[in-house]
Amino acid sequence: MKAVKLAVIYYSMTGINHQLAEWAANAGKSVGAEVRLLKVKELAPESVIEKNPAWKANTESTKDVQEAGSEDLEWADAIIFSVPTRFGNVASQMKQFIDLQGGLWAKGKLMNKVVSAMSSAQNPHGGQEATIHSLYTSMMHWGAIIVPPGYTDASIFKGGGNPYGTSVTQGQDGRMVEDVKEAVHHQAKRTVQVAQWIINGQNPE
């Protein structure tokens, strides 16, 4: 069987979504996927980033992570997005990345991609589900195949019970409130599994 090509694409201001993305990437590798861990381009000016120590530290610690491009989407069989909530919606950095994919979309290069999403916010009801829904709306326009975790594993309940995608709250100390590592692993493995069914169904060997 062909190995699934998985792109884990994230935006992270203070490191939460970077951690979620790393967990997803590691889970993908553990089940035999070829994985690219990628960040989207930062849009905030340096003068703003410099004023926030956590933001500045995360920017510095992830400077060597490759930025995602259209070629990565075309390469991937499956894509997992991880993005923080901004007023109940997708952070502008990720939104711009998606908005720039009109060329691939017009050529039919984004259809049938297997996609799943994760999110975070500073409050338990800060818009994580709305953010994931918003991202999935764009994926419907792509003609992608959305793979939510649903309630397919006990780790979903342990991680807070979000059936749309793993979501987490960032506490005042900057750390994750919920224990979602197992939920992320399950979601990533499930995404790879569905992609495996699809690519090997289309191209049996």
- As a whole number, the mean pLDDT across the chain is 95
Q: Containing domain of residue 49, as a range?
A: 5-202
Q: Are 142 and 98 in contact (CB under 8 A)?
A: no
In this prediction, residue 123 carries a pLDDT of 87
Long-range CB contacts (< 8 A, 24+ apart) of 54-61?
54/13, 54/14, 54/15, 54/174, 55/13, 55/14, 57/15, 58/12, 58/13, 58/14, 58/15, 58/18, 61/15
Q: Which pair of tokens denotes residue 151? A: 């309630």
Q: Tally the domains of the chain.
A: 1
In this prediction, residue 205 carries a pLDDT of 55
- Max Cα-Cα span within the chain: 54
How far apart CA 104 and CA 111 sit, in angstroms, is 9
For residue 50, pLDDT over 60 is answered with yes
Give the pLDDT band of residue 200 (cuts 50, 70, 90). confident
pLDDT in tens, 98-153: 999 999 999 999 999 999 999 999 888 888 999 999 999 999 999 999 999 999 99
Report the percentage of the chain scoring pLDDT > 90. Answer: 90
Q: Are 105 and 74 in contact (CB under 8 A)?
A: no
How far apart CA 108 and CA 157 sit, in angstroms, is 37
Give the pLDDT band of residue 203 (cuts 50, 70, 90). low
Give the pLDDT mean for 193-197. 96
Helix (H, G, I), strand (E, B) or coil at 37: strand
Q: Are 91 and 9 in contact (CB under 8 A)?
A: no
Give the chain's count of helices (H) and strands (E). 9, 7
Give the pLDDT mean for 6-20. 96
DSSP-derived secondary structure letter, 41: P
In this prediction, residue 122 carries a pLDDT of 87
Q: Are 10 and 17 in contact (CB under 8 A)?
A: yes
> Residue 139's domain is classified under what CATH number?
3.40.50.360
How far apart CA 40 and CA 89 sit, in angstroms, is 16
Give the pLDDT band of residue 90 (cuts 50, 70, 90). very high
- Helix intervals (H) in 31-142: 46-49, 53-61, 70-75, 92-99, 102-106, 128-142
pLDDT in tens, 149-194: 999 999 999 999 999 999 999 988 888 999 999 999 999 999 999 9
**Cα 152 to the center of its chain, rounded Å:** 19
The pTM score is: 0.95
Helix (H, G, I), strand (E, B) or coil at 105: helix
